[in-house]
């Protein structure tokens, strides 16, 4: 496990959507410090300590734990994929400062961590590329980034955690088309946001503290099957209907 290099506290200058990565980062750091934690994430703790930002603005609301539950579910899906395909390729789309590689890597898989250039610049101050792990600085909407992951030959697990809901629907459709065309057999994990959440986000405990706004309102993830005939929805969960294996790994309190 590669711990991030420690450097003096630094201020970050990120675009509006990019800033949202600090919410799940802080969520994992706060969770990691609990005596009974859903996950341990020393790297997140160190990054929060190293970044000069008012993280406390996100304290007190339910969102932090929500981000940890979500990442826990994505971890479960990636683990299941790597159990079946230990030499497979994982692509983190909109990786932010997520540390899934630190939690889930099996020592064999290929990992690509894609995000916008300012995020990758920040990410590079904490993590380094290796022969199996590479950062890619690009928008998911610009297909040029796909060459490197395509060179591994797959199979592919694409994880877009807390990313697509920030894009307008036409961009989400473009991203889904691009991913489906370049990685036709891939598994794609993503989260959707329903109309209630999009309408009330100005009073949301975490989103009300940042500029970025959710744009893609998706009442039912099954709609994606209509967007891409031939694709199949394999699983869909909410925080109250987590898979048994995920639920069983949660701390008692």
State the residues that interact with ligand SAM by CB under 6 A: 17-18, 20-21, 24, 71, 94-96, 98, 114-116, 119, 139-141, 161-163, 166
Indicate the residue among 88 and 96 with the shorter CB distance to ligand SAM: 96
Q: Write down the number of H helices and E strands in the chain.
A: 11, 7
The β-bridge relationship of strands 89-93 and 51-52 is unpaired
Q: Which residues pair with 115 in a beta bridge?
A: 137
Q: How far apart are CA 147 and CA 111, in angstroms?
A: 14
Tell me how far, at minimum, the Cβ of 235 lies from ligand SAM, in Å: 18
List CB contacts of 150: < 8 A, sequence separation 6 or more: 182, 183
Tell me how far, at minimum, the Cβ of 22 lies from ligand SAM, in Å: 8
Q: Which residue is nearest to ligand SAM (CB)?
A: 96
Our measurement of the distance from residue 12's CA atom to the centroid of its chain's CA atoms, rounded to an integer in Å, reads 19
Tell me how far, at minimum, the Cβ of 252 lies from ligand SAM, in Å: 25
Indicate the residue among 142 and 253 with the shorter CB distance to ligand SAM: 142
Element (H, E) at 90: strand 89-93
Tell me how far, at minimum, the Cβ of 23 lies from ligand SAM, in Å: 6
Indicate the residue among 93 and 109 with the shorter CB distance to ligand SAM: 93
Indicate the residue among 86 and 150 with the shorter CB distance to ligand SAM: 150
The β-bridge relationship of strands 10-11 and 51-52 is parallel
């Amino acid at each position: 496990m590669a711990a991030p290099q420690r450097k003096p506290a630094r201020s970050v200058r990120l675009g509006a959507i990019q800033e949202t990565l600090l919410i799940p980062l802080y969520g994992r750091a706060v969770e990691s410090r609990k005596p009974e934690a859903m996950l341990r994430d020393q790297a997140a703790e160190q990054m929060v300590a190293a970044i000069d930002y008012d993280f406390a603005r996100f304290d007190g609301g339910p969102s932090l734990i929500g981000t940890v539950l979500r990442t826990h579910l994505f971890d479960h899906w990636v683990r299941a994929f790597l159990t079946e395909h230990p030499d497979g390729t994982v692509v983190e789309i909109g990786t932010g400062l997520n540390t899934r590689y630190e939690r889930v890597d099996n020592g064999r898989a290929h990992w690509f961590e894609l995000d916008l250039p300012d995020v990758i610049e920040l990410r590079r101050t904490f993590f380094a590329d290796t022969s199996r792990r590479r950062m890619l600085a690009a928008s998911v909407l610009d297909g040029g980034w796909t060459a490197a992951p395509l060179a591994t030959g797959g199979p592919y697990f694409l994880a877009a955690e807390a990313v697509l809901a920030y894009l307008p629907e036409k961009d989400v459709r473009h991203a889904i088309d691009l991913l489906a065309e370049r990685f036709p057999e891939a598994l794609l994990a993503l989260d959707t946001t329903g109309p209630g959440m999009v309408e009330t986000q100005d009073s949301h405990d975490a989103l009300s503290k940042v500029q970025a706004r959710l744009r893609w309102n998706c009442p039912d993830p099954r709609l994606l099957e209509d967007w891409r005939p031939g694709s199949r929805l394999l699983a869909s969960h909410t925080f109250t209907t987590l898979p048994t294996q995920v639920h069983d790994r949660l701390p008692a309190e």
